[in-house]
Structure 1
Amino acid sequence: MLNLASILTDSARRYPNNIAIVSGKQTCTYQELEERAGMFANSLHESGIGKGSHVYLFAPNTIEFAVYYFGVLKTGAVIVPCNPTLKVLDLEDHFNVVPPDLIIAAAPVYAELKKTRCERIWLFDAAKAAIEDKRVTLIDHIIDKDKKYFRNVTKAANETAVMIFTGGIDGDTKAAELSHANMVLNAFASGHRHIAGYTEKHTTLAVLPLFHAFGQTVHLNAGILAGSRIIMMPRFEPKLTWRLLDEEKVNVFCVVPTMLGVLLATEIDPEQMIRIKKNLKPIISGGSKLDEKLKSTFEKTTGLEVREGYGLTEASPVSSYSFNNLPDKPGSIGQPLWNIDAKILDDQGNELDHHEIGELTIRGHNVMKGYYNDPDATDKVLKDGWLRTGDLAYIDDDGYIFLTGRKKDLFIRSGFNVYPKNLTNLLLQNNNILEVEVNSLPDPVKGEEVLARIRAKNGIVESEIEQWIRGNVAAYKRPKSIKFIH
């Protein structure tokens, strides 16, 4: 029996006075975070949320994200963290896959949520304009500060704790069901002394979005599990990042490759860099393939070491890493983590020898239960506990994995997955668009950039289409370049 929320409860018991989270000028100890999560869990429980409930969370990296995340888990409900920049069409798509019992959201998200058919919205930092909506409850109005204790609802280790949306191999919207065991064990493995190396004396800078599996596991859960201090950054700002790495004496820093390129282009004082080097462990890069030239240039210019890992949403997500105590092979995503196996298969499902290229397949504590309410999609990627990743790779004689390409239809832009099929279907919801072709081009900063070719109805002004796209397509997957064809 297990509950992911127990990692907070246990750390609050061991390190009650340790600072758990710093968010701007706000700080929160482990005892305070446990109590705030308990207050929130009591409010949820009194409103009927518990086992079997699906609770969406739309929030930036703040103390509130952690409070609501662990508060929901305490009740035995399933937490569904989502990108707060999503537009209404994506929201409805998500709600069709996983109907929400409750939505928790930062006030700015309400502008899109109010256009949906959702029935219950709890807002924090809410604008007065939202109060007129009968579906909306202001969280500050329902928290009873005298009810600080909530006994974590016991769950079976294989019950679902978290659902995260993905396009998987085919690009159709799906929700990966990650169990309590998946999330706890992957946080434990990621915090290993030769990966993040967290202890109760360490500090991490949480710049990766926590709604994303990478940030959620390696920053939030692994940090909380160890009793570490987590510095929240709601959005990536290169100058502020360098300053915080220095002033907060950060030990653990995780990035997507795009961030390394931006940081490299941002001027930093040499004395500041000397201080950063004294505390910072090797930087953990993931989310997309790290260009070897970028890695080499960053390391030579800054004197900071970068180690690369690999993961995917369906694997909680961390699956391999170039361990800090082993040789770092250029171009490799390292070796499988503790209790994870990897093999390479050909198109017929036969295992290939070392150095032969095929589909990377993994098995272990981190592999999801399946896709929510979608057994057909699950059967396509899971067989006898082995997960098809959709990535092409080979394994060398020392067990290091090297990615060579993708079988799945996917672009990775600044660490965010963009699925051409999903984007095409989204654009075609505009009745004035007749045909869409989505492609990508290599980009030195973002990794890949999204392009679209669109054929619209005769007489439609191109600027109207562009304006519609700005209002209906989330920024992370919005085409940078649109070519209209006639």
Structure 2
Amino acid sequence: MLNLSNILEDSARRYPSKDAFIFLDTHISFAQLNGAANQIANGLKAKGIKPGDKIALSCLNVPYFPMIYFGIMKAGAVVVPLSVLLKRDEVAYHLSDSDSKAYFCFLGAPGLPMLEEGYAGFQHASQCEHLFVITAKPGDPSPIEGLSTLGSLMKDQSPAFPTVSTSAEDTAVIIYTSGTTGKPKGAELTHSNLFLNAMISTGISDIALEDVQLIVLPLFHIFAMTCLMNAGVYKGATSVLLPRFDAEAVLDLMNKHKVSVFAGVPTMYWGLLNYENTKFDLGEISKNLRSCVSGGASLPIAVLEGFEEKFNVEIFEGYGMSEGSPVVTFNQKETGRKPGSVGTPVWGVEVKLVDADGKEVPVGEKGELIYKGHNVTKGYYKKPEANKVSLKDGWLYSGDVAVKDEDGFYYIVDRTKDMIIRGGLNVYPREVEEVIIKHDAVSLVAVIGVPDDQYGEEIKAFVVLNEGKNVTEDELRTYTKEHIAAYKYPRVIEFLDALPMSATGKILKKELRKS
């Protein structure tokens, strides 16, 4: 038997008074976190929630997230984390598609009306019986009359609860994919999937009991959930929570709490690299910061090298996806590191690259990355047809194109869906982006294919310039043409002040395609 909440119970026994989470001036110990999760589990049981029921959670990076997350699991129910950016129709879809019986929704923040959208979506999900409002303080009333609050659910409940015995193969979390094509799908991740991935993540980030990690990646996303929250709780480390990325706020917390472990997506490293204010002593921050990891998207080598020089710390990059719990490959201290690669397969995971017929391709050739092991999802919830496409003989077909070198290191080339076919020739946007970003005037770039009557698709680059730098479209086109095959350089270049990004910091190419 295995329940992922056992990792919290163990740390609460071992380190009851140690800080588990810090948010602003609030310090939550492991014993307090465990007690609150038990109160939530008792409250859910009193409301008729049964093992296996699905419960949705929309919450920013505040201590209520781990309390509710582990409380749901203690009750034997399944957590359905939702993006805080979802609009009402999307909320209704996710609640209905997941068969959620209850829904925890945070109030929101300035410019982010989470409860307003969440409540509207809840009203169109007939099977969802309960909506619990997560208020700023437990005793605060709901701003919408008639709705229960998290505080009222926990009120008078015991801080002790006999955790429901679940099987290692029972579903613990249904995590929704980003839905770049069609409607988002819910990947069912088991207690075993998440537990083993959290254990592996502690080795990747080299996190230990005495470490302080900063979590600015959204907790509803599998990267932060597994590699930071669950890994930190498992190890007994302290996690500092920040709801939204801001370079100055990140550096301030790094300085204040002597942060030693940081994980981010490439745009976060880009933001920290380009932050020029001198109010912080980078030497002091660098002295404490000893472990950095990157995932979620490919990290441009120029950003990696610039950050490492500025902060005097190595970034270990890896590859994963929601369906992989998430970690699949990583640059690991034991196996070495190659900048630009996503490393080698993690323990217990097998990876290979295949062609369109499913046959393994030779070293150095492009192929779709597929993998199998303890990290692979049980499948997409209620999506048998999607399972037939993505899951074959235990292998998960990622949809990502990669290359393996002679040392067994993998390099992500691009998404198969992002590949541009120009005049019958394949162009991978990442390859073009890596060239353009090396120009000293370029700060950030995204490349897509746009319809073209002559070639089928033409290559277009969206470019954000470094402050105080200038380059014309013709100059940048000429520069790129000198460094890449003639059919690959962008014929169209558009300069923007910023690129559209998701809540997790990924560049939203689907938004660029609409422009």
TM-score calculated relative to the size of structure 1: 0.83
SS in 2 for 1:389: strand
Q: Which has the higher contact order (CA 8 A, sep 6+)?
A: 1
Q: Which amino acid aligns with 1:28?
A: I
Residue type at the aligned position of 2:131? I
Give the letter for the 1:178 counterpart. Answer: L
Aligned position for 1:432 = none
Task: Report deviation, 1:31.
Answer: 0.7
Give 1:266 deviation, angstroms: 1.1
Deviation (angstroms), 1:303:
2.3
- Residue of structure 1 equivalent to 2:338: 329
SS in 2 for 1:331: coil
Is the contact made by 1:169 and 1:409 (CA closer than 8 Å) also made in structure 2? no
Q: 2:225 aligns with which of 192, 216, 225?
A: 216
Counterpart of 2:115, as a letter, is: Y
Task: Verify: 1:137 aligned to 2:148, yes or no.
Answer: yes
Unmatched 5+ stretches in structure 1: 413-417, 421-436, 446-469
Counterpart CA distance in 2 for 1:311 and 1:164 is 14
The reply to whether residue 318 of structure 1 matches residue 327 of structure 2 is: yes
Residue 184 of structure 2, aligned match among 154, 173, 198? 173
SS of equivalent to 2:94: helix
Provide the C-alpha distance between the structure 1 equivalents of 2:279 and 2:333, rounded to a whole number of angstroms. Answer: 25
Structure 1 equivalent of residue 163 of structure 2: 152
Secondary structure of 1:201's partner?
coil
Q: What is the number of equivalent residue pairs in this alignment?
A: 431
Q: Could you say what secondary structure the match of 2:189 adopts? A: strand
| Structure-2 separation of matches of 1:296 and 1:185 | 31
For residues 250-300 of structure 1, give each alpha carbon's deviation from its aligned partner in whole angstroms, at most 9, with x where no partner exists.
111000000111111212549722222222223101100111111112222
1:43-442 counterparts in 2 under 5 A?
43-108=43-108, 109-116=114-121, 117-118=124-125, 119-125=129-135, 130-132=143-145, 134=146, 136-145=147-156, 147-167=158-178, 170-192=181-203, 195-267=204-276, 269=278, 272-408=281-417, 441-442=461-462
SS of the residue 2:100 aligns to? coil
CA distance in 1, matches of 2:417, 2:187: 16
Q: Deviations over 1:80-111 (max 9, x none)?
A: 01112210121122233212200001123221
Using the TM superposition, give the Cα deviation of residue 168 of structure 1 relative to its aligned residue in structure 2, in angstroms: 6.4
Q: CA RMSD in A?
A: 2.8
Q: What amino acid does structure 1 have at the position aligned with 2:2? A: L
Q: 1:404 to 1:249 in 2, by over 3 A?
A: same
CA distance in 1, matches of 2:193, 2:332: 21
Give 2:18's aligned residue. Answer: 18
- Partners in 2 of 1:475 and 1:354 — Cα distance? 32
Residue type at the aligned position of 2:284: R
Looking at structure 2, the residues matched to 59 and 399 of structure 1 have their Cα atoms a distance apart, in angstroms, of: 39
Q: Where does structure 2 lack aligned partners over 5 or more consecutive residues? A: 109-113, 420-428, 431-445, 449-456, 466-499
| Deviation by residue 1:140-192 (Cα, 9 ceiling, x = unmatched) | 12323550011111111111000111156844321000000000000000111
Question: Any idea what the Cα deviations from partners look like across 1:209-237, whole Å, max 9, x if unmatched?
Answer: 00000010111000000000000001111
Query: Residue 56 of structure 1: CA displacement?
Result: 0.4
Write the letter of the residue equivalent to 1:264. Answer: L
- C-alpha separation between the residues in 1 aligned to 2:86 and 2:413? 31
**Residue 463 of structure 1: aligned partner:** none
Distance in 2 (CA, whole Å) between partners of 1:363 and 1:474 is 25
Counterpart AA for 1:281: R
Distance 1:174 1:164 in 2: 8
Q: Using the alignment, how far apart are the partners of 1:202 and 1:392 within structure 2? A: 35
The C-alpha deviation readout for 1:337-395, integer Å capped at 9, x for no partner, is 11111101110011122112100011111110000011110111111211111000111
Deviation at 1:320, TM superposition (A): 1.1
Q: Does the 8 Å CA contact 1:131/1:137 hold for their aligned counterparts?
A: no
In structure 2, relative to structure 1, the CA distance for the partners of 1:329 and 1:57 (3 Å cut) is: same
Compared CA separation, residues 230 and 104, structure 1 to 2 (3 A):
same
Residues 1:92 and 1:185: Cα distance change in structure 2 (over 3 Å): same
Secondary structure of the 1:114 match is helix
* Cα distance in 2 between the residues matched to 1:74 and 1:205: 26
Query: What is the distance in 2 between the residues matched to 1:212 and 1:271?
Result: 29
Distance (Å, rounded) in 2 between the aligned partners of 1:197 and 1:223? 11
Give the TM-score normalised by structure 2: 0.78
CA distance in 1, matches of 2:177, 2:8: 27
Q: Distance in 1 between matches of 2:297 and 2:7?
A: 28
Structure-1 separation of matches of 2:238 and 2:309: 29
